Chains A and B, each alone.
Chain A
Amino acid sequence: MKGTEKELLVLLAKALEGQSLKDIAIENEHELWKLARRHGVLPFLYEMGEEAGAAATMQVKQFYRLLFATKYYTGLLEQKGVACVVLKGCGAACGYPQEELRKSGDVDILVTDRKKWEYACQLLEERGAVREEEPTTTYHVGYRIPGGITLELHSSFMEAFDHGKANEVMDSMLETLTGQIIHSEVAGVEFPVLRRPYEAISLLVHMLHHFRTGGFGVKLLCDWKILWSQNWDKEDRETYLEWVGRFGLKGFSDLITQTCCRYLGLKPLDGTKGDIREETVEFFMEDIWESGEFGAGLNDRIAVLQDGGPLAYLRELHHQMLLNYPHHQSRPWLWPGLWTLTLFRFVRNNRRIRNVSTWSVLKKTAGRSRYMKEISLFRE
């Protein structure tokens, strides 16, 4: 790990504990700002220099704008009897010493009452939300709301996993979420969020999604540290461990917790740390540094496979095909053609959009997939 990276982690660990960074001397200011910006954590360093201060002021302004947009639309949905919760954004900011400094760019709302999904869309559209033309995913619809803000209305946390059993668990969890809503408050503004174990699952699944595609940066690691630094009672912790076990994500959860313990000073709760090798934690941290916020850092990071074997590549191809052509899931006679089209699109996008060779992408994927065995993804 480079000196600047170590330095940033030390500073973040202090900032997340609410300690002042005012009189701390830094070696290479320019490099530090660059790194912190790339990972979406520059506002936390606001006391350390003008550039960080300016980023923090902009972030605070953005935070309040998004907070009140969240208030407006969750208030509307709740008033009309549609159960919903805030995902990420101001929901994830709860618990930070200064909630306003947690960077966020849009509003994410999950409709937990799935029968009212269409009604929720209708309500938003009646109140100034304009549906974006292309639905980019199968699990949310994008809206443009007043103020030029993007609002994503979710029907699920993330897109379907490439694992049937995990998807069944996700479906059964989504069915129960309406009963798991509480209200949080920031700056005198209340909004609905999930109870802590479910909030943790939501964040974990979010991290997994990014980890398996473009990667994720230090910001999400900070979210994890903040979430697990709060007062968890035994019941909540057991609920979390039960769900995470059913998903087969205990290994991944342990890996993140252990990384937060080692680099951000998290004190683990009983049963949440596991037994991941130090070497794996180090490799994972390197992976996070490379990614930048949401994998923005490198073009040749596309996917992490469930395990390192050759079959995993075919499984990923099939999964991508199902995501690209969801309407043909029940027409297996079309699959060979769609596999070919998916592969063609992958190679073409690598060259035209990502400007990297497919070989480079596959090599990177193999590298990132090598520790997947240790975290036993999707195995109970």
Chain B
Amino acid sequence: MISWNEFCVRKAAGADWLIWTAQPGIPYVKPLTVNETGAEICKRLMEGQDLHEIGLWLGGPEEADAAEVDIRTFIDQLEQELVQNGWREEAGKEMEKRGGERDGEQ
């Protein structure tokens, strides 16, 4: 699952870029470009909105359920692309490292 607080969306050169900011940096996990609606969905997820709330924004009260399904599909696609870029592997290492640091502090 994507931890949305580890990501940000930036607008640059006319495109929206979804960036995993919590990555170590090397190996490098490339950002993804998303369209404007995709960027807005990501921003709302980063703000902590749930899928139903975002579905309501996207489809209105009548289309909210269908929109929620679309959003879920969109998130799955993002995850797949991020995995291809090495995200899950590096995220796992990062979590292990943080766990280790916390154990060390204790």
Contacts and interface: CB of A to CB of B under 8 A. Distances in A.
Given A64-B30, A187-B19, A188-B19, A75 B13 contact: no
A98 B31 CA distance: 16
B8 A60 contact: no
Contact of B8 (A69, A145, A188): A188
Interface in A55-71: 56-57, 59-61, 63-65, 68-71
A329 B17 CA distance: 52
A223 interface: no
Contact of B14 (A47, A61, A71, A128): A47
Contacts of B15: 57, 60
B27 interface: yes
A72 B10 contact: no
Contacts of B21: 187-189
Contacts of A59: 13
Contacts, number: 65
A71 B25 contact: yes
A72 B26 contact: yes
B20 to A, nearest CB: 9
A60 B13 CA distance: 7
B10 A187 contact: yes
Nearest to B6: A188
A69 B30 CA distance: 12
B28 A98 contact: no
A56 B26 contact: no
A248 B17 CA distance: 44
B95 interface: no
Interface in A86-106: 98-101
Given A60-B17, A188-B21, A68 B26 contact: yes
A146 B29 CA distance: 12
Interface string A29-72: 00000000000000100110000010011011101110011111
Q: Give the size range of A's interface with the partner.
A: 20 to 34
A61 B30 contact: yes
B26 A146 contact: yes
A3 interface: no
Given A46-B14, A64-B19, A98-B12, A75 B25 contact: yes
Contact of A68 (B8, B10, B17, B28): B28
Contacts of B10: 100, 187
A203 B38 CA distance: 39
A332 interface: no
Contacts of B11: 98
B100 to A, nearest CB: 13
A147 interface: yes
B14 A64 contact: no
Nearest to A61: B30
Given A68-B25, A146-B26, A53 B19 contact: no
A192 B29 CA distance: 22
A187 B13 contact: no
Interface of B: 8, 10-15, 17, 19, 21, 23-28, 30-31
- 6 residue pairs, one from A and one from B, having the closest CB atoms: A72-B25, A188-B21, A56-B13, A68-B25, A100-B12, A71-B25
Given A98-B12, A127-B26, 14 more contacts: A57-B15, A60-B12, A60-B13, A60-B15, A60-B17, A65-B30, A70-B25, A72-B24, A98-B11, A128-B26, A146-B26, A146-B28, A187-B8, A187-B19
Interface of A: 43, 46-47, 53, 56-57, 59-61, 63-65, 68-73, 75, 98-101, 127-128, 145-147, 187-189
8 contacts: A56-B13, A60-B17, A64-B17, A69-B28, A75-B25, A98-B13, A187-B8, A187-B21
